[in-house]
Amino acid sequence: MKRNRLNSILDVVIGLLIVTSLFLGYQWYQEYYGESYRNALSSELDDKCSTPAGYTNETWKEHMGHHPDRYAECLGV
């Protein structure tokens, strides 16, 4: 009897961990690929190679280096 109760508690804890993980994963996905990400993309400058406000030339080049697929022509790749 004691073993069944322990298994039931363990099942509930595992279920809560799964639900919590799914919720946090969804929140992370929305933060990086949701509306805020689309807003950031739509606010890009016409010349995506030029340094936007808030960046130095060095930090902008570093940022572009993290996204070589999007900034290949800016990086000379």
One domain for residues 37 and 11? yes
- pLDDT at position 1: 58
pLDDT digits 0-9 by tens, 26-66: 998 887 777 776 776 776 778 889 998 888 999 999 999 99
Q: Cα(63)–Cα(70) distance, rounded to whole angstroms?
A: 11
Q: What's this model's pTM, rounded to 2 decimal places?
A: 0.47
Considering the domain architecture, whether residues 52 and 65 belong to the same structural domain is answered as yes
Cα–Cα distance measured from residue 12 to residue 32, given in angstroms and rounded to the nearest whole number: 30
Residue 23 pLDDT class (50, 70, 90 cuts): very high
Are 6 and 24 part of one and the same domain?
Answer: yes
**Structural domain count, the chain:** 2
Q: Domain of residue 55: give its range.
A: 46-77
5 and 30 share one domain? yes
Res. 77: pLDDT tops 80:
no
Cα–Cα dist 64/6, whole Å: 52
